């Protein structure tokens, strides 16, 4: 239809738009939330404005990083062109934009939550500021991890030469790879945000429970990452599995379906895992002696929550490998 260079220019522009369009959503939401809670904290204690505003800006900066990644990917897509250009390169460009843009949504929102509760905690217990800020930084940083997965897949799509991959069904593999990581990262980012937010406010109220609360927070955060990791694995499989040329529509659609399965399938469980560990962390801070019971119930509950993400992963693997 069009020569590969024309197609690449058009797709790269679309990919850049998707990258920054989606990528701007999460960071702005998270930063707005942080600013709102910071103001609520200030209304209680205006004289701590210096500390609160400083903390708000630090937290907002972490949220911003996901949007910066998206801007970088968008600029690369606008102005940089690879040396070998075939038709499949265009599909890789769109996949890259989707991967980075979508994954930044969850991370931006998630990083905003501990920043907000940290501002409230600093006002309520200024003596515990250092513990509060440390926990906020740990939590926010882990919330950024799904966006980093998205950025890794975006860079693989942008900078690896895929000219050896057949166009059919390769086009669907490129698109599916972008969707799998991009969508799945949303759930993990937001879920991790809930967990970190509760951990920070719990440590603000009861600083003597810092050790247990931090430990349960870290367990919750790592289990919460699992759905983003499933999406990441499916993306890698789609990118590097050696597909034979096959011009049938079904052969392409199965790969797109594999990407959507793990992608959308990661959103709900990711948020649910985050909610489960958020409440567990909240109550570990209030009742540290019950940490055994709480963690046990949390893990059982998280395992059940994980189930649909596992089904989605199995469907993706079936579509890629068996059919």
Partner 1 sequence: MEISGPDFIKGMAFLGAGIAMGLGAIGPGVGEGFAAGKACEAIGKNPNEAGLLTRTMLVGQAVSESTGIYSLVVALLLLFVV
Using CB under 8 A, list all residues that contact partner 1: 2-3, 6-7, 9-11, 13-14, 16-18, 20-40, 42-44, 46, 49, 52-53, 56-57, 60, 64, 67, 70-71, 74-75, 78-79, 108
Question: Which residues are CB-neighbours of 107 under 8 A, at least 6 positions away?
Answer: 26, 63, 66, 143, 144, 145, 146, 147, 185, 189
Q: Please, what is the minimum distance in Å from the beta carbon of residue 57 to partner 1?
A: 7
> How far is 310 from 270, CA to CA, in rounded Å?
12
Q: Which is nearer to partner 1, 55 or 181 (CB)?
A: 55
Minimum distance from residue 65 beta carbon to partner 1 (Å): 11
Q: Indicate the residue among 36 and 207 with the shorter CB distance to partner 1.
A: 36
Burial label for 321, CB within 10 Å (0-12, 13-18, 19+), is exposed
What is the CB neighbour count within 10 angstroms for residue 244? 8
Q: How far is the CB of 58 from partner 1 (least distance, A)?
A: 11
User: If you write DSSP's letter for every residue of 103-170 in order, what string do you get?
Assistant: HHHHHHHHHHHHHHHHHHHHHH-GGGHHHHHHHHHHHHHHHTHHHHHHHHHHHHHHHS--TTS-HHHH
Kindly state the smallest distance separating residue 75's Cβ from partner 1, in Å: 8
Nearer to partner 1, 7 or 256 (CB): 7
Query: Where does residue 74 rank: exposed (0-12), middle (13-18), buried (19+ CB within 10 A)?
Result: buried
Place of tokens 């309520």: 124
Inter-CA distances, 76 with 12, 80, 158, 237, Å: 9, 5, 9, 24
Residue placing its CB nearer to partner 1 in the complex, 79 or 244: 79
- CB of residue 30 to partner 1, shortest distance in Å: 7
| For partner 1, the closer CB: 120 or 238 | 120
- Please, which residue, 75 or 160, has the CB nearer to partner 1? 75
Which CB atom, from 22 or from 171, has the smaller least distance to partner 1?
22
């Amino acid at each position: 239809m069009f020569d590969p260079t024309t197609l690449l220019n058009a797709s790269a522009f679309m990919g850049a738009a998707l990258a920054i369009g989606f990528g701007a959503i999460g960071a702005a939401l998270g930063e707005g939330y942080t600013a709102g809670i910071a103001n609520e904290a200030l209304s209680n204690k205006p004289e701590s404005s210096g500390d609160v505003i400083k903390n708000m800006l630090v937290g907002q900066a972490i949220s911003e990083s996901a949007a910066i990644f998206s801007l970088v990917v968008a600029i690369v897509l606008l102005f940089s062109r690879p040396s070998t250009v075939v038709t499949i390169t265009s599909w890789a460009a769109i996949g890259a934009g989707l991967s980075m843009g979508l994954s930044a949504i969850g991370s931006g929102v998630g990083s905003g939550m501990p920043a907000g509760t940290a501002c409230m905690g600093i006002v309520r217990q200024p003596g515990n500021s250092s513990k509060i800020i440390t926990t906020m930084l740990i939590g926010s940083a882990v919330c950024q991890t799904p966006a980093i997965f998205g950025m890794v897949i975006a860079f693989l799509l942008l900078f690896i030469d895929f000219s050896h991959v057949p166009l059919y069904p390769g086009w669907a593999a490129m698109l599916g790879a972008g969707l799998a990581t991009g969508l799945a990262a949303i759930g993990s980012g937001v879920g991790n945000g809930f967990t970190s937010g509760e951990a920070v406010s719990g440590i603000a109220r009861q600083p003597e429970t810092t050790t247990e609360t931090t430990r349960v927070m870290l367990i919750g955060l790592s289990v919460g990452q699992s759905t983003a990791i499933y999406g990441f694995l499916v993306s890698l499989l789609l990118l590097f599995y050696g597909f034979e040329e096959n011009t049938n529509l079904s052969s392409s659609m199965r790969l797109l379906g594999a990407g959507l399965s793990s992608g959308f399938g990661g959103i709900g469980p990711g948020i649910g895992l985050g909610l489960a560990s958020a409440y567990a962390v909240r109550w570990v801070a209030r009742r540290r002696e019950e940490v055994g019971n709480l963690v046990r119930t949390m893990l059982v509950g998280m395992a059940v929550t994980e189930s649909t993400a596992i089904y989605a992963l199995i469907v993706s693997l079936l579509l890629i490998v068996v059919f």
